[in-house]
Structure 1
Amino acid sequence: MPFGVDRGVPGLIVKFGDYPLHHGGVGAIRSLGRLGVPMYAITEDRYTPAAVSRYLERAFVWPTTGTEAPERLVEGLLRIGRRIGRPALLVPTDEEAAVLIAEHQAELGGGFLFPRVDSGLPRRLASKQGLHELCVKHGIASPTAVFPQSYEEVERFAATARFPVVAKNREAFVRRARPAVNGTTRIGSRDGLLRLAKEWGEHPGVILQEYLPREDAEDWIVHAYFDAESTPLALFTGVKVRSWPPHAGMTANAYVVDNPELADLAARFIKEIGFSGVIDLDLRFDRRDGQYKLLDFNPRMGAQFRLFENEAGVDVVRAMHLDLTGRRVPEGEQRAGHRYVVENIDLPALIAYRRSGYTTPHAPARASGTELAWLAGDDLRPFFTMLARFVRPGARHLYQLWRTSRRGGGTG
């Protein structure tokens, strides 16, 4: 690598909740670990893929649900920090962790390194309603949306709405309570919406959004790291080819594609809201009106971040470590045409997409290189651990995801 990192500052993967098969955490451990940075991780048990990586110094087994009181989670982080024995860079892999860090900067600042940001901003960005309001304020296109406060408001919306529509949980922290819907849910009719809304109680925690038909749209992603002045030190754009569940879930297959218009849009938005740190954006390009519409803003590292690296070898996690330890972040063009594949979910996604006939016009005909989420020649154990944990329950899990995605008419 043409740059040097501070190997005296370790990294700590922070995750809350039970999702042991997370390739993003493994990717971050490898990314910094290959540079000689000591890596630590919070894991559900000692036999997760992250826990067995050759680049991990130590796994701190700490099963959490995402429902714990913030004070307990902060104390647990501080206890881990004392066991590490020196300030460590925090790398959150979920919204709960990113928001907790932002809202407890004073308590965590002595023992850890992390980007400083307005304490309420990550929670607002992770919220579907908060994000929509920020988009409206700053002139960023997003799907038309309503936020019903009662069943009666759902009825009034249903009387005039154009179907299909999309329902999502209003707040990001669905693990803290029973979610109204299981992920992004496409609802095909007025009767289907009213039937589903009867299960939401007196105060529906949902956003009802216009449906952007996939035959007229393309899914794009932006990953970036912004410094304390909200200046991008690493910014990448790519196109999502497949996701699981189909058209609504996590990225299964994606390519790096240069998109200066999208990069400028993302940089302007981040500058205006004053965010600092790593971001993962999901946007859908609506060919009907020529606009990129922001669907999701993850104020943390995305699971597929290793798709993106510049010519100098910098990804968003490396950029964050370099910047927060006072190093210069080398510039360079992104690896256009590079491909990312998540082995355990791309095959079922491929089958589903072939049946639907959907294609991505901007995907290159041939990849310039491929990054696998799990399999790495210098770190094989996470791949085989993933297989061992995935194969038997995995088929049932994929089936449940597929069934969930079809409820109410399928995913949007």
Structure 2
Amino acid sequence: MMSSHPAVVLDLSANGVGIIHALSRKGIDVYAFDTEGPYSKGKSRLATCGICPSPLNEEEELLSFLKKIAMEHDQKPVLYAGADDYVVFISKYRSVLSQYYLFLYPDHSLIMDLLDKKKTYELALKYNIPTAKTFFVENEEQLDEAITQLEFPCILKPVYGHEFRKHVNKKAIHIQNPIQLKEIYPIYRKFGELIIQEIIPGDNQCFYKVATFFDEDLELLALFTLQKNHQFPAQFGTGAHIVSKRIPDLVDAGVPLLKELALKGVSMIEYKKDPRDGQYKLIEINPRFWLTHSLTGHSGVDFAHQYYLYLTGQRPSPKINQTDGVQWIYLVRYFLTYLEKRKKGEMTLKDFFHGLRGKKVFALFALDDPMPFIRSTTSHLWNAWKRKRRSD
């Protein structure tokens, strides 16, 4: 295998560390960067890691930084991004960065539309994709009107999640009643546009993802589907325990949609199955590697490596047949989810240990690279302890 092209990964969360592990174990030289906070937790011994300027408020500095990194190598590096901020930055400066790096993204306007929950909702309507009942509110009069049509509890979500999380580290705010909504809305509105959405019933196992890798000509080079078992936080969070599972109905629905949208490169669409009508309802579409992508390599698909092979001209064969039943576990988040669900009688210790049986891959735990796991676990447990103290 030709591996003279290095890989550069922007992101040192579990997403980025998963890319590092997938590539470095194939003999590829990996360089990984992030801003100071994530770098301190995620730096890996399997890559040359460092701190980089922020894609949010140091764009020119980051552009110069990346040019310098690329010019240190004889071959163009393959550029990976594990977070929305880096995707937007790379896409925005693609004409310059493409002179130094290999990467594949859809049109910039499509990327920005998919990060905008209003535009994503409009796409769902355009393509007749079922979705949660959604309200867009710009003033108090519209808020009052929405309240008359809402069922409570409901959720308050940012239109631009990556921008909102600069100020508030939440994917969504759970709203119990109209009084709370009227009190909470102006507080969070200061940090960006918001939408109000019904809560689709069903537990964590009602969430599914379809992931694709389309090449420049929109030929499918990788396909993967999965089901969540647990997420953290349990109500509105990210994956903690996932299983590889082929869902033909979602393949039939999701793959043509992503191709129709011309989502070149790696992308993922998330659905939640509504037990009221059995419909899979759109949650979001991401034009990038997603948190649990490291499950794919252990299930016979390996998105990160397919991406590398294609961009370095090695013409990989399509990988569309996956191994089902492989589990992906973010161990500390799975444990904290267990503690949360145990209080509500939704999970027992026996259930927790049962989830550790069978073929599995851990998000961060690795004997050849132990420190990202240790630092992440310490940080999660410390933050959980601080939250408990505040609530006592």
Normalized against structure 2, the TM-score is what? 0.88
User: 1:183/1:334 Cα in 2 relative to 1: closer, same or farther (>3 Å)?
Assistant: same
Equivalent position to 2:276, from 270, 282, 288: 288
Q: Do the aligned partners of 2:167 and 2:191 also contact (CA within 8 Å) in 1?
A: no
Higher mean C-alpha displacement, 69-78 vs 98-107: 69-78
Which structure is richer in relative contact order (CA contacts within 8 A, separation 6 or more)?
1
Q: Do the aligned partners of 1:11 and 1:37 also contact (CA within 8 Å) in 2?
A: yes
Cα shift at 1:176? 7.8
Note the alpha carbon deviations across 1:375-403, whole angstroms, 9 max, x for none: 2233334333434555545633x659x97
Alignment of 1:10-409 (within 5 A): 10-15=6-11, 22-45=13-36, 48=40, 50-53=42-45, 55-56=46-47, 58-62=48-52, 64=54, 66-174=55-163, 178-179=167-168, 182-200=170-188, 205-214=193-202, 218-309=206-297, 313-330=300-317, 331=319, 333-356=321-344, 358=346, 368-387=358-377, 389-393=379-383, 395-396=385-386, 399=388
Gaps of 5+ in 1: 404-412
C-alpha separation in 1, matches of 2:362 and 2:305: 18
Note the alpha carbon deviations across 1:139-177, whole angstroms, 9 max, x for none: 222212121122321122113322222111011332586
Note the alpha carbon deviations across 1:62-107, whole angstroms, 9 max, x for none: 253x531544433332233223453111110111111221222111
Helix, strand or coil for the counterpart of 2:8?
A: strand
Q: What is the identity, as a one-letter code, of the residue corresponding to 2:24?
A: G
User: 1:182/1:229 Cα in 2 relative to 1: closer, same or farther (>3 Å)?
Assistant: same
Q: Do the aligned partners of 1:225 and 1:276 also contact (CA within 8 Å) in 2?
A: yes
Q: Do the aligned partners of 1:92 and 1:98 also contact (CA within 8 Å) in 2?
A: yes
Name the counterpart of 1:7.
3
Identity %: 24
Q: Do the aligned partners of 1:67 and 1:175 also contact (CA within 8 Å) in 2?
A: no
Note the alpha carbon deviations across 1:206-233, whole angstroms, 9 max, x for none: 0111211125971112233221233331
Helix, strand or coil for the counterpart of 1:48?
A: helix
Normalized against structure 1, the TM-score is what? 0.84
Q: Do the aligned partners of 2:42 and 2:376 also contact (CA within 8 Å) in 1?
A: no
Q: What is the identity, as a one-letter code, of the residue corresponding to 1:9?
A: H
Q: Do the aligned partners of 2:42 and 2:375 also contact (CA within 8 Å) in 1?
A: no
Q: Do the aligned partners of 2:116 and 2:159 also contact (CA within 8 Å) in 1?
A: yes
Helix, strand or coil for the counterpart of 2:297?
A: coil
C-alpha separation in 2, matches of 1:349 and 1:306: 20
C-alpha separation in 1, matches of 2:290 and 2:328: 13
Q: What is the identity, as a one-letter code, of the residue corresponding to 1:317?
A: A
Q: Do the aligned partners of 1:223 and 1:281 also contact (CA within 8 Å) in 2?
A: yes
User: 1:247/1:202 Cα in 2 relative to 1: closer, same or farther (>3 Å)?
Assistant: closer
Q: What is the identity, as a one-letter code, of the residue corresponding to 1:183?
A: K
Q: Do the aligned partners of 1:128 and 1:171 also contact (CA within 8 Å) in 2?
A: yes
